[in-house]
Amino acid sequence: MELEIGPSFRKYGESEAYRRVTRQNRGKASIGRDGSLAGYTGGLPFPTDAIDCAGDPEAGSKIVWNFSKAWNGDGAAGRFLFTMWDRGEKIPMYYEGTSRRVMLKDRVEPQYREDAESPGDIFEDEDRLHATGLEITAPARHSFSSGPYRLLTYRYDSADGPLDRSSRDDVWVYVPVLQHSRRWLHKRPEAMSEFTFDDLRSFSGMPPQYDWACLGEKEVLTPFNTKRLAYPYRDDYDFGPYGTSYANDRWELRKAWVIRLEPKEEFAPHHPRQELNRGFLALLERIEGFRLSAKHPEPRAEPSVILRGLPELWIDFDLRRA
């Protein structure tokens, strides 16, 4: 095992188009009612050097909006392998597939900024923030035996606004055995599975549904700009007994905000991890016919502390128990 310590506070810059739109829109965005984002049309909403963690009660909201609107190209694309572990033992269940997200509003490319009335929109009168597609291609058994499972999600621009104007995501699921699509009617689309979208990028929710607080700043040594190849390039990378270790890779020292989120009462009937674990057991029983033995007791629900980053700023999400 070889843990490499890389450069401290290395800069990973955004595109020039993103920086240009950030400069043009500096000072236009603000925190609105319910912690919503007002006056935003592209780029980084709030200059990080102007965020006062100690003195500004809106600092937590500004940080999470910067996280949500960080430079991410035209969206995201990739392949994924989702495996399951319980106390160091790999459970014989997995999902493999592809995903693609396309940003439909607030784009920074010059060809999308020409319309002064709706700068950044790909289509005229666009009301969607982004469209996300996911396809599960393996394992090729049970409900997947007659074709891949597919999911399409629309998130609307009203999700950035006050709660009384917000629309929930629209989600459609293609079920192979039925050979047609069904609309998923649940306030958390990921509740159909044993993971949440937050697992993919720390936080993928709607910021106005939470109360945010900035707790301070710190320096974090964390896996960053890793160099050893793993999935999908090779499948022999050793992530340790719990499947999450990067101890054999490159780590860097990063500057971080520490922020806390508390779900507002109407959006938090359960602690997310408690809800997750119950869904996990139900899914194993319903789809896989799998039963937990004495060796696999019910997973414990624990507070989640997750680290993910902007190009130059990391965020520590401290989620309180409900």
Q: State yes or no: pLDDT of 133 exceeds 60.
A: yes
Q: State yes or no: pLDDT of 229 exceeds 60.
A: yes
How confident is the model over 50-73, as pLDDT tens digits? 999 999 999 999 999 999 999 988
The predicted pLDDT at position 186 comes to: 52
- Could you write out the DSSP letters of every residue in 230-276? -TTT-S----TTTT---TTSEEEEEEEEEEEEEE-GGG-SS-HHHHH
- Taking the CA atoms of 224, 229, 235 and 236 in sequence, report the sign of the dihedral they define: negative
The predicted pLDDT at position 198 comes to: 60
Q: What percent of the chain lies above the pLDDT cut of 70?
A: 74
148-154-157 Cα angle (round to 5): 165
* C-beta neighbour count of 101 within 10 angstroms: 19
Query: Which residues are within 8 A (CB) of 322 and not within 5 positions of it... i.e. 6 or more apart?
Result: 263, 268, 270, 271
CA–CA separation, 64 vs 19, rounded Å?
19
Query: Which residues are within 8 A (CB) of 183 and not within 5 positions of it... i.e. 6 or more apart?
Result: 170, 171, 172, 173
Residue 60 belongs to what domain range?
Answer: 4-319
3-state secondary structure of 197: coil
* Residue whose token pair is 């493999």: 96
Backbone conformation region of residue 88, classed left if phi is above 0, alpha if psi is from -120 to 50, else beta: left
The answer to whether the bond into 299 is cis (omega within 30° of 0) is no
Nearest to 35 by CA among 70, 71, 67, 59: 59
Q: How many folded domains does the chain comprise?
A: 1
Helix (H) or strand (E) holding 281, with range, is helix 272-283
Say what the pTM is: 0.77
pLDDT band at 2 (very low <50, low <70, confident <90, very high): confident
Two tokens at 253?
């020292």
CA–CA separation, 35 vs 58, rounded Å?
8
196 burial via Cβ count (<10 Å: 0-12, 13-18, 19+): buried
How confident is the model over 72-121, as pLDDT tens digits? 889 988 888 877 777 777 777 788 888 899 999 999 999 999 877 889 99
195 close to 247: Cβ distance less than 8 angstroms: no
